A and B are shown apart, each in its own frame.
Chain A
Amino acid sequence: MKEKTLVADIDRAFYDFRYDEDEKNFLESGITPEIIREISAEKGDPEWMTEFRLHSLDVYNRLKMPQWGPDISGLDMDRIVAYIRPQKRMQSDWNSVPDDIKETFEKLGIPQAERESLAGVGAQYDSELVYHNVRREVAESGVVYTDLESAMHDERYAELIRSHFMKLVPPTDHKFAALHGAVWSGGSFVYVPAGVHLEIPLQSYFRLNAKGAGQFEHTLIIVEENAYLHFIEGCSAPKYYEASLHAGCVELYVGKNATLRYSTIENWSKNMYNLNTKRAAVEEGGKVEWVSGSFGSHVSYLYPMSILNGRGARAEFTGITFAGEGQNLDTGAKIVHNAPETSSYMNTRSISKSGGISTFRSSVVISENAVGSKSAVSCESLMLDSVSRSDTIPSMVIKTDKADVGHEARIGRISDEAVFYLMSRGLDENSAKALIVSGFAENVSKELPLEYAAEMNNLINIEMKGSIG
């Protein structure tokens, strides 16, 4: 009997190392006003932020759990630790970072990446940033890259933070946005002044090491007129048998004729509920480019949203999702065309195997004033067996006659004809199938810097064996 051709699950062993933590640094689990006040005191919040947190908690308690996506009934908020005190304050000298944390990020290759290909690095371990550094020449160009808390306490940026923080994603947006508003901790603040083109990327890496904890980092990026930034976000966690929660928030402000590329390789462990919110507002002639690889977590709700507010603003979303055993990954994007002559393009791929569920969900809204706007959506799904699921739920709402919207989607398995063609050119069957799956994922890998594309390929780790079943 022939053996079925197999594409291996993502090999996460590389990310599964962990260190024991001193539980006296853990705040009590659950989400209560007392815990919120304690977090606020630990962080030395200004008064407005304490009030903001308590208001968000009130909103959180009023809002219902989402009823339209994957099941999250396994997430018991009373058992989630919202904040873990850091062992040490944030450092800008790598040698001053505590040894176990330093070893964690060295295993993940972060210091090496900083030396070789990045303009600046931020590293968050559990609830707080442990390291932040930016190259001198980048800082001298006026670029600010620091942790959000430091920026909030710095009188040069305090007002900027206050006027932008959770204005794009208000706590009333949904229950986990409200939760984020109440318990947020860590994350990065980036400010790129007008006309500055940052040729090499900045990267923040988020590592959740603790068991049964939540990570709630907030990333706030402001790219001024005619500026350019590529920001890379990476995240991982070791696997536990208890649920963990990631409810971060990303707010991006893209100025007139500016461009911001935001790349994410997400590889949370399979006990993670990834309920993250990302949103960008783009001004006249500006452009936001999302590149997103979703490989990890038990359940994901992730739909980066672009609001095109200025004439001629543009958005591109390129994404890949790989759902394996025990994973229910609900991913996609949302685009709101809110000004004339705006354009958007969405291009996604999803792969399901070993009982994994992959759902592509999107919305394109063309509002009344978005005359002359264009949008195109393309999504393709690959099913690698019949115990998995792959669903596609796009939606388009158009409120003007002067717009052009196109959508196409395909779902299926690896084509026998394509395998046959490649085999007729001398490839063996396993290599042919591997090549087809690699090609299927290429839309994302070709958009990433080389070293991150290599990491993504490592994540997919395609192994072919046997012959066609």
Chain B
Amino acid sequence: MSKLNILPLPTFNRLGVNFTERDTAFETETISVPEGSERQIIQFRETDCETSVTVGKGARLNLVQVFTGRCASVLKTTVADNAQFGLIQLYLGGDNVSEIITELSGYRSGFTAEIGYDLGYGDVLDLNLVADHYGRRSTSEITADGILRANAQKTFKGTIDFKNGSSGAKGSEKEDVILLNESVVNRTVPVILCAEEDVEGSHGATIGRIDEQHIYYMRSRGIPEEQIYEMITRARLERIIKKTGDKDTQKRIYSILGWGDDDE
């Protein structure tokens, strides 16, 4: 068993969030985006994989990863001066352990992460995302939106780490989780580590039910309650799916979700 998803600073042992144990057989993969270039990569992941990514000076990488099975994934990225790394990850069921370590080493390097998940019966997601700010005026913006149904279990550990010297850096992290069954288990650990004075960091999390006022409004317009839940949760995922910007990918995701063609 390997220890994965190790929290950069451990916390109370009893919470069971400091690391995850998993049998893994990683394949390795390297992605390099040369200086000044722009790439979009879309991956549907079903096997364990460790991916190393470098985004060269002034380059831009948009990486879309969709997880549907039982998978352990490690994604380590280095972002150079003025480079941008945009990551979209969707977890649509299964049993996934995923680690994302992004090193913002360059001046004005940027990282945006959009994480979406829809987890149901027997699904497990353990996600550890770390944005290491080394570069001056580097930025990170992490959002995670998800739905937990049936007895799904999810752990999201998100860390923004302002290293000494990262002056002018900004990082924000936001997670919004909707719980739709009494048997779900949600663990959220939003961490900010800071060794630099001139930075701005924030994180926020909201976890719970759909706002009762929203439900009341829609019911008063004749929409059945079950349909309301589906509409709201679907709207959340769709916002992220649309950001992939690729029609074929969107179609394939809709198909996995059983949404059909009218959902394009």
What bracket does the count of chain B residues touching chain A fall in?
35 or more
Q: Is A1 an interface residue (CB 8 A)?
A: no
Q: Which residues of A contact B12 (CB under 8 A)?
A: 68, 334, 361, 363, 395
Measured between beta carbons, the chain B residues less than 8 angstroms from A389 are 193-195
**Inter-chain contact B192/A409, CB cutoff 8 Å:** yes
Are the C-beta atoms of A402 and B200 separated by less than 8 Å?
no
Given contacts A401-B184, A407-B188, A411-B199, contact A393 B205 (CB under 8 A): no
Which of the 9-residue segments B13-21, B41-49, B252-260 touches chain A? B13-21
Report the minimal beta-carbon distance from B91 to chain A, rounded to whole angstroms.
18
Contacting pair B182 A403 (CB below 8 A)? no
Contacts of A390 in B (CB 8 A): 194
Question: Are A412 and B201 closer than 8 Å at their CB atoms?
Answer: yes
Task: Report yes or no: B187 in contact with A397, Cβ–Cβ below 8 A.
Answer: yes
The answer on a CB contact under 8 Å between B15 and A363 is yes
Give, as a whole number of angstroms, the nearest-CB distance from B16 to chain A. Answer: 8
Q: Which of B184-225 contact A (CB under 8 A)?
A: 184-209
The smallest beta-carbon distance between B149 and chain A, in angstroms, is: 9
A98 to B181, CA, bound (A): 64
Interface residues of A in 371-385 (CB under 8 A from B): 371, 381, 383-385
Cβ-based interface call for A162 (8 A) = no
Is A402 touching B185 in the complex (CB atoms < 8 A)?
no
Given contacts A385-B197, A386-B195, A398-B207, are A393 and B11 in contact (CB under 8 A)?
yes
Which residue from A393, A395, A399 sits with its C-beta under 8 Å from B185? A399
Q: Which residue of B lies closest to A407 (CB)?
A: B205
Which single member of A361, A385, A406, A409 contacts B11 (CB below 8 Å)? A361
Give the interface centre of A401, A403, A412 by most chain B CB atoms within 10 Å.
Answer: A401
Contact A396 B17 (CB under 8 A): no
- Could you tell me if A393 and B189 are in contact, using CB atoms closer than 8 angstroms? yes
Is the C-beta of B241 less than 8 angstroms from some C-beta in chain A?
Answer: no
Cβ–Cβ contact B11 & A391, under 8 A: no
Q: Digit string of A127-153 for contact with B (CB within 8 Å is 1, else 0)?
A: 000000000000000000000000000
- Residues from chain B with Cβ under 8 Å of A368 in the complex: 182
User: Chain B residue with minimal CB distance to A353?
Assistant: B197
CB pair B191–A408 under 8 Å, yes or no, is no
Tell whether, in the assembled complex, residue B187 and residue A383 are in contact, meaning their CB atoms are under 8 Å apart: no
- CB pair A409–B188 under 8 Å, yes or no, is no
Q: How many A-B residue pairs have CB under 8 A?
A: 144
* Interface size of A in residues (CB-CB distance below 8 Å): 40
Q: Are B197 and A413 in contact (CB under 8 A)?
A: yes
Q: Does A61 contact B (CB under 8 A)?
A: no
B167 proximity list for chain A (CB < 8 A)? 386
The answer to the question of A392 belonging to the interface, with a C-beta cut-off of 8 Å to chain B, is: yes
With A401-B180, A411-B202 as contacts: A395 and B187 at CB distance below 8 Å: yes
Q: How far apart are A169's CB and chain B's nearest CB, in angstroms?
A: 14
Residues of B within 8 A of A361 (CB): 11-12
| B195 contacts A403, C-beta separation under 8 Å | no
Tell yes or no: B1 within 8 A of A by CB: no
B10 nearest CB neighbor, chain A only:
A68
Residues A404 and B209 in contact in the complex (CB < 8 Å), given A384-B197, A398-B179: yes
Given contacts A390-B194, A395-B187, A407-B188, contact A402 B209 (CB under 8 A): yes
* B191–A391 CB distance below 8 A: yes
Kindly state the separation between the CA atoms of A67 and B10 in the bound complex, as whole angstroms. 8
A396–B186 Cα distance when bound, in Å, is 8
Report if A381-B202 is in contact (Cβ < 8 Å); known contacts: A386-B164, A403-B208: no
Contact B187 A405 (CB under 8 A): no
A181 at the interface (CB under 8 A from B): no
B13 touches A401 (CB 8 A): no
Whether A186 sits at the interface, judged by CB under 8 Å, is no
Contact of B190 among A394, A398, A399, A404 (CB under 8 A): A394
Q: Which of A386, A391, A404 contacts B9 (CB 8 A)?
A: A391
* Interface presence of A410 (CB below 8 A): yes
Other-chain residue from B7, B17, B18, B185 in contact with A398 (beta carbon distance below 8 A): B185
Neighbouring B residues of A409 by C-beta, 8 Å: 190, 192, 201-204
A405 to B204, CA, bound (A): 11
Closest to B148 in A: A401
Are B11 and A68 neighbours in the complex by a CB distance under 8 Å?
yes
- Give the most central of B13, B197, B202: most A CB within 10 Å: B197
Min CB–CB distance A362 → chain B (angstroms): 9
Q: Which of A334, A408, A412 contacts B204 (CB 8 A)?
A: A408
Report the separation of the CA atoms of residues A456 and B23 in the bound assembly, to the nearest whole angstrom: 52
- Asked if A395 contacts B197 (CB within 8 A), the reply is no
Tell which of A67, A396, A413 touches B198, judged by Cβ atoms closer than 8 Å. A413
Give CA–CA (A67, B191) in the complex, Å.
18
Min C-beta distance of B74 to chain A, whole Å: 22
- 29 A-B pairs with CB atoms under 8 Å apart are A68-B9, A359-B9, A361-B11, A363-B11, A363-B15, A384-B197, A390-B194, A393-B11, A394-B189, A394-B190, A394-B191, A395-B11, A396-B188, A396-B205, A396-B207, A397-B185, A397-B186, A397-B187, A398-B207, A400-B179, A400-B182, A401-B209, A405-B207, A406-B204, A407-B205, A408-B204, A411-B199, A412-B199, A412-B201
Excluding A392-B191, A397-B186, A401-B179, 12 further A-B contacts by CB distance (< 8 Å) are A383-B194, A391-B193, A395-B11, A395-B17, A396-B188, A397-B185, A398-B188, A399-B184, A400-B184, A403-B209, A404-B207, A407-B203
Binding site for B on A (CB under 8 A): 67-68, 334, 359, 361, 363, 365, 368, 371, 381, 383-386, 388-413
* Nearest 6 CB-CB pairings of A with B: A401-B179, A404-B208, A68-B10, A411-B201, A405-B207, A407-B205
